[in-house]
């Protein structure tokens, strides 16, 4: 077991050790913050909700059973908490997730350029193509390629079946391949 594996971090976190909390916070606060901003498009709300999420997580650490995938668990839990907070701020008007993602879930050229395979490509063109996808397709692509999640974990985060994740991913990649006029982008997408 590596020194800072999720299992080790979670073990020390559940024991209430400051090191465990610190490692968990340092490792997962940044990606959860980025994900939350994509969902809410509200930095103050996202940060408040995320800080409260970590506090509640620490206070309830003894209630947690074993967790198979810490990253997926944190993304699912934070997403649910953020959506509840968004609903509360809108006077308990139900938020339909598709509407939430349609208006807020966008990709920037900077995020796409993170990956070495496509750094040499025109990232603004790829971002434009991705932003034309449906909200579900954008979310699956984000969780798969930018958060590094496995399809099973994406299914859990999005509360859809594993097969639905595969279908949405394939459909999104297929749309990108078809709409791309850039030969280099099409070649990269064929590998996916």
Question: What count of residues does the chain have?
Answer: 192
Q: Match domain 1-95 to its CATH number in 1.25.40, 1.10.1740, 3.30.70, 2.60.40.
A: 1.10.1740
CATH architecture of 104-192: Orthogonal Bundle (1.10)
Domain locations in the chain as residue ranges: 1-95, 104-192
Over residues 157-178, the pLDDT tens digits come to 999 999 999 999 999 988 888 8
Neighbours of 32 (CB within 10 A): 24
Query: Is 104-192 in the same CATH topology as 1-95?
Result: no
Over residues 89-146, the pLDDT tens digits come to 776 555 555 445 545 566 665 555 444 444 444 566 777 788 889 999 999 999 998 8
**Arithmetic mean of pLDDT over the chain:** 80
Over residues 59-73, the pLDDT tens digits come to 998 887 778 899 999
Neighbours of 168 (CB within 10 A): 23
Q: For residue 24, what are the CA distances in angstroms to 105, 157, 164, 191?
A: 25, 19, 30, 33
Over residues 77-99, the mean pLDDT reads: 73
């Amino acid at each position: 077991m590596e020194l800072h594996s999720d299992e080790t971090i979670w073990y020390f976190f559940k024991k209430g050790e400051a090191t465990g909390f610190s490692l968990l916070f340092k490792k997962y606060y940044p990606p959860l913050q980025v994900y939350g901003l994509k969902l809410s498009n509200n930095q103050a709300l996202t940060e408040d909700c995320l800080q409260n999420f970590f506090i509640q997580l620490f206070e309830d650490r003894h209630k947690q059973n074993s967790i198979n995938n810490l990253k997926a668990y944190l993304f699912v839990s934070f997403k649910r908490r953020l959506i509840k907070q968004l609903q509360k701020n809108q006077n308990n008007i139900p938020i339909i997730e598709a509407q939430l993602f349609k208006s807020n879930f966008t990709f920037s050229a900077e995020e796409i350029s993170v990956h070495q395979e496509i750094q040499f490509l025109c990232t603004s063109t790829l971002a434009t193509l991705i932003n034309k996808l449906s909200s579900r397709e954008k979310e699956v692509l984000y969780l798969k390629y930018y958060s590094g999640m496995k399809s099973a974990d994406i299914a859990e985060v999005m509360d859809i079946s594993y097969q639905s994740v595969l279908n949405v991913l394939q459909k999104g990649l297929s749309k990108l391949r078809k709409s791309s006029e850039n030969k280099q982008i099409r070649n990269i997408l064929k590998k996916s």
